[in-house]
């Protein structure tokens, strides 16, 4: 006999741009919102009864409705505000999960001065927030960044690894280190200043990456996480996923040329993937 197990449903990739029009400048945000609801929906699966189902199209409209009146300045705050709306207005919902991604729009500088209403894309990365709350409980918020693309042309080596009959990789004392990192962090503070924590965390990660004398991706990943924890006491733990995006030395000897670490071939696939959580 079949029975329904864990289930949820929602609306994905609700795209939203928001302009806050201040007297001297505009603020611009571009978000993508994902909504998932958990609760008393069993009869919609087992009895074709939709009486407790909020249409996902209504969820989309709710995103825009809440955004219209929202004073939230961070994606974390908006995620919690949106989730609270669903819990307050849908008694059949027992738990809500909201994810928000923010594109890296930055104010443009023209002739050395910030331009009040013009923006440029700062990079490919997305700022992320994931907020979950069960009815009767508090919010669990995880912040992060996805697609943090960084590269260093020195201070990176890889030696001393296992060599067996299938090993063809040559030791490298000075190599390119490139990655497209995904980073998330959990809070131990109940109501952190999300903007300040994000700024300090990312600054610490980037500073450590730039200055680190890396003996492996693992070595740098751990020290980056350790630096982030030191910079942001509000964080309980931080998780990093860092694919090793290789740049292989091009073989120029058939053309009578040397190649003193000058010309490389970028290789994204296949790539090594290194992941770890650094905790207090």
Q: Which helix (H) or strand (E) holds 7?
A: none
The active-site residue out of 34, 60, 130, 246 is 246
Tell whether the torsion through CA atoms of 87, 93, 97 and 103 is positive or negative. Answer: negative
56 is catalytic: yes
- Are the beta carbons of 79 and 102 closer than 8 angstroms? no
Question: What are φ and ψ of residue 65, in 5° steps?
Answer: -65, -50
Cα 117-118-122 angle, rounded to 5 deg: 135
Q: Which of 26, 32, 56, 95 is catalytic?
A: 56
| Catalytic residue list contains 246 | yes
SS3 of residue 6 by DSSP: coil
Where helices occur in the chain by DSSP H, the ranges are 42-46, 56-69, 75-89, 194-211, 217-231
CA-nearest of 158, 152, 188 to 172 is: 158
Catalytic choice (11, 29, 60, 130): 11
Alpha helices in 119-261 (DSSP H): 194-211, 217-231
How buried is 224 (Cβ within 10 angstroms: 0-12 exposed, 13-18 middle, 19+ buried)? buried
At residue 159, φ and ψ (nearest 5 deg) are -140, 170
- Residue-wise over 158-184: b if at least 16 C-beta within 10 A, else e? beeeeeeeeeeeeeeeebbbbbbbbbb
Looking at the annotation, which residues are catalytic? Answer: 11, 56, 246
């Amino acid at each position: 006999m079949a029975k329904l197990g864990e289930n949820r449903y929602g609306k994905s990739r609700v795209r939203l741009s928001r302009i806050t029009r201040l007297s001297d400048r505009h603020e611009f945000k571009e978000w993508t919102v994902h909504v998932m609801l958990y609760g008393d929906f069993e009869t919609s699966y087992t009895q074709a009864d939709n009486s407790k189902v909020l249409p996902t199209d209504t969820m989309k409209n709710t995103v825009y409705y809440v955004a219209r009146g929202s004073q939230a300045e961070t994606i974390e705050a908006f995620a919690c505000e949106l989730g609270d709306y669903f819990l307050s207005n849908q008694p059949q919902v027992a738990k809500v999960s909201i994810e928000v991604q923010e594109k890296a729009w930055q104010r443009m500088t023209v002739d050395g001065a910030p331009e009040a209403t013009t923006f440029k894309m700062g990079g490919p990365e997305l700022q992320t927030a994931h907020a979950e709350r069960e009815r009767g409980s508090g919010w669990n918020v995880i912040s992060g960044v996805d697609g943090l693309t960084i590269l260093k042309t020195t201070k990176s080596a890889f030696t001393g690894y296992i060599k067996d009959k299938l090993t063809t990789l040559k030791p490298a004392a000075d190599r390119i280190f490139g990655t497209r990192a995904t980073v998330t962090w959990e809070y131990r503070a109940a109501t952190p200043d999300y903007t300040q924590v994000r700024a300090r965390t990312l600054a610490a990660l980037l500073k450590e990456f730039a200055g680190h004398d890396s003996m492996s991706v693992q070595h740098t990943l751990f020290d980056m996480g350790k630096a982030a924890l030191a910079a942001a006491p509000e964080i309980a733990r931080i998780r990093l996923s860092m694919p090793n995006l290789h740049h292989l030395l091009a073989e120029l000897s058939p053309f009578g040329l040397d190649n003193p670490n000058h010309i490389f071939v970028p290789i994204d696939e296949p790539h090594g993937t290194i992941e770890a959580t650094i905790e207090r």
